[in-house]
A and B are shown apart, each in its own frame.
Chain A
């Protein structure tokens, strides 16, 4: 069964450093998403991406964040200068837009900013 994959599973970084979180969505999907979940809290929407551009973003997704689809298979989230409060699980999701609304989530990357 096809699934969303994410790398790395864990990332530890120093405050102020840049991180890139990587995702490989399900191959025939065309909508891509990033969500985050701070420990013990709800899953929160960050951004959605379709047709090589951002289609929607939340207030959390400020200028420190960017997304990219550098090739036909990867979808990345970059945090330019990490802050302590960026520590969270980051989930990638993808959706097949052909009549389906279901978003399928990856296993997540646990980011710890020290």
Chain B
């Protein structure tokens, strides 16, 4: 049968603007969250992570915000650059388990 891929939501931003990528997670018991960047044909590349006992964490040009009340995670990229163009995945880890459960992904396109 025909395989149908997921239609990725797309965020288009101008170079130099800030980007905000959102993610809704499913399990209120999840205690760890992580953002990955995936360029075409490559593996997921770690960007930033956050534990559930925090609501904000900053890295270089990136910030992750966690809202446990509404089970929402966001990734903010400051001064977006063409090299930031990729698919961004959030993932969650629940309790003592090992596995990461990935979200659908968002395609970020940076326009010059």
Bound-state CA distance A69–B73 (Å) is 35
Determine whether B36 belongs to the interface, using a CB cutoff of 8 Å to chain A: yes
Bound-state CA distance A108–B102 (Å) is 16
CB atoms of A102 and B49 under 8 A apart = yes
A82 to chain B minimum Cβ distance, whole angstroms, is 16
Determine whether A41 belongs to the interface, using a CB cutoff of 8 Å to chain B: yes
Determine whether A65 belongs to the interface, using a CB cutoff of 8 Å to chain B: no
| Per-position binary interface string of chain B over residues 12-47, scored 1 when its CB falls under 8 Å from any chain A CB and 0 otherwise | 000000000000000000001010100001111110
Tally A-B pairs: CB < 8 A. 61
B5, B46, B102: the one within 8 Å of A44 (CB)? B102
Bound-state CA distance A106–B42 (Å) is 8
CB atoms of A42 and B104 under 8 A apart = yes
On chain B, the residues within 8 Å of A44 by CB distance are: 102
Determine whether B99 belongs to the interface, using a CB cutoff of 8 Å to chain A: yes
Q: What residue of chain A has the Cβ atom nearest to residue B4's Cβ? A: A40
With A40-B6, A41-B5, A108-B42 in contact, is A102–B34 under 8 Å at CB?
A: yes
CB atoms of A105 and B44 under 8 A apart = yes
Determine whether B60 belongs to the interface, using a CB cutoff of 8 Å to chain A: no
Determine whether B83 belongs to the interface, using a CB cutoff of 8 Å to chain A: no
| Per-position binary interface string of chain A over residues 36-59, scored 1 when its CB falls under 8 Å from any chain B CB and 0 otherwise | 001111111100101000011010
CB atoms of A45 and B101 under 8 A apart = yes
CB atoms of A56 and B97 under 8 A apart = yes
B-side residues, CB < 8 A to A, are 3, 5-6, 32, 34, 36, 41-46, 49, 51, 89, 91, 93, 97-105
* Known A41-B5, A102-B49, A105-B45; 16 more pairs at CB < 8 Å: A35-B100, A39-B3, A42-B105, A43-B44, A43-B89, A44-B102, A45-B101, A48-B99, A58-B99, A101-B93, A102-B46, A103-B34, A104-B46, A105-B43, A108-B42, A110-B41
Q: What 4 pairs between A and B have smallest CB-CB spacing?
A: A40-B5, A48-B98, A45-B99, A105-B43
- Could you give 7 example pairs across A and B, Cβ below 8 Å? A40-B5, A43-B102, A91-B44, A101-B32, A103-B46, A105-B45, A110-B41
